[in-house]
Amino acid sequence: MSATAAKTEKSADPLLGPLLAGDRRALAQAITLIESTRGDHRERADALLAAVLPHSGKSVRLGVTGVPGVGKSTLIERFGLSLLERGRSLAVLAIDPSSKRGGGSILGDKTRMEELSRQRGAFIRPSPAGATLGGVARRTREAMLLVEAAGFDTVIVETVGVGQSETAVADMVDMFVVLLLPGGGDDLQGIKRGVIELADLIVVNKADGDLKATAMRSAADYQHALRMLRSPTAGWTPEVSTCSAQTGEGVIEIWQTVERFLAAVGDKGIARRRAEQARAWMWNEVGETLLAELRRHPEVKRLVAGLEREVETGRATPAVAARRMLEVFHGR
C-alpha cells in the first residue's frame, strides 16, 4: 500500500478498519449506511465505498432466483453449509419483498436460514427490494463490495423470485442460477422465457421421494429447451442438474458446476463481464439519481397529481405529460 493510500485509510471512516478486519457488526452498520436515503449518509457511504473498492472483487458472485415455493432459502442454506465445510466463506444478500401499498418488508431470511446464520464463516443480510426494477435493492451492488472487502470469498444474491425482471441480478453476478420445481410444463412454470435465457445453470430442486423420477424427466426437458437458446455467457454451455435441499443429494455438485463454469469462462472472461457490469451500474445510478431528483423537485411535485389524472382520463398522453414534467425540472 502506498503512503497516500495508507494515510487515506487511516483518516477514513471509523467503520473501515473493523470492516476490513472482518468485523460483522461493522459490516452490518456499513450496509445500513449505504441503504440510507439521507444526504449526509450518502456522502459518507460514497467515501467508504471508495476506500473499500481496492479490497473488493475477489469473491465468486452467484445470483439465485426461482419460482415461489421452490425452496431457495432451504437450498442456499444447505449449499452454504457445504461450502463452509470446504473451507470457503459465504455472504448471502437476500432481497426481501416489500409491500407495494405500505412499503413494508418481511425480512425473514435469517429465520429461514437459522443454522447457516449461526456459522462463523457466513453472513446473511436481508434487504427490502423497494421499488427498484428486478426485485433487487438499489444498493445490493454496493453491499456486495462491502462483504467482499470484509473477506467473504463467495457471495450469493437471492432474489424475490420470478415476476419482476431478474435482469438486474444477472447484471451484477458472475453466474446466474435458476431454481425450478419438478413437473414443469410448456410454460416453464410461469417463468418468463427471458429469465431462462439468463440462466447459466438450471437446478431442479426437490428431487427426492416420489418426485425424484419426475425431477429427472423435468431436467431432461429443460436441457432440451436450453439447446434452443443462445448461451448468456461466452465459453459456457448452460447446464441442468437436480438436487434435494432436504436430503442434500446433488447440492455439492452445484458448486462443482460453478467451478467448471469459472474454469471455462476464465479470469479474463469474468473480468470482462464485471467491467461491462460496472459500466451498466454507472448508467443505472445516473437513471436512479435523476429520477429521485425529479420526484423531489418542488415544482414537479405540484404538477404530478394533475398530470397523472390527465393521463388516467385520456386527456394527455404519457409522453406529453412526461415532457411537461421534464420541462419544469429543467426550468424551461
Please report, for the domain that includes residue 25, its CATH number.
1.20.5.170
Record the pTM: 0.85
In a domain, residue 272? The reply is no
C-alpha cell at 261: 463454469
15 and 126 co-located in one domain: no
Q: What sign has the CA pseudo-torsion 299, 304, 305, 309?
A: positive
Q: Provide the pLDDT for residue 250.
A: 95
Per-residue pLDDT of 208-231, as tens digits, reads: 999 999 999 989 988 888 888 889
DSSP lists the bridge partners of residue 156 as 62, 92
Spatial neighbors of 150 by CB under 8 A, at least 6 apart, are 19, 20, 22, 23, 24, 26, 27, 91, 123
Domain of residue 39, residue span: 1-55
66 and 189 co-located in one domain: yes
In a domain, residue 277? The reply is no
Task: Provide the pLDDT confidence category of residue 128 given band limits of 50, 70 and 90.
Answer: low
Higher pLDDT, 319 or 131: 319
Percent of the chain with pLDDT over 70: 84
318 and 193 co-located in one domain: no
Task: Provide the pLDDT confidence category of residue 7 given band limits of 50, 70 and 90.
Answer: very low
Per-residue pLDDT of 160-218, as tens digits, reads: 665 555 778 888 999 999 998 888 654 454 556 678 888 999 999 999 999 999 999 98
Q: Provide the pLDDT for residue 103.
A: 46
What's the total number of domains in the chain? Answer: 3
44 and 86 co-located in one domain: no
Q: Provide the pLDDT for residue 185.
A: 52
| Mean pLDDT of the residues in the chain | 86
88 and 211 co-located in one domain: yes
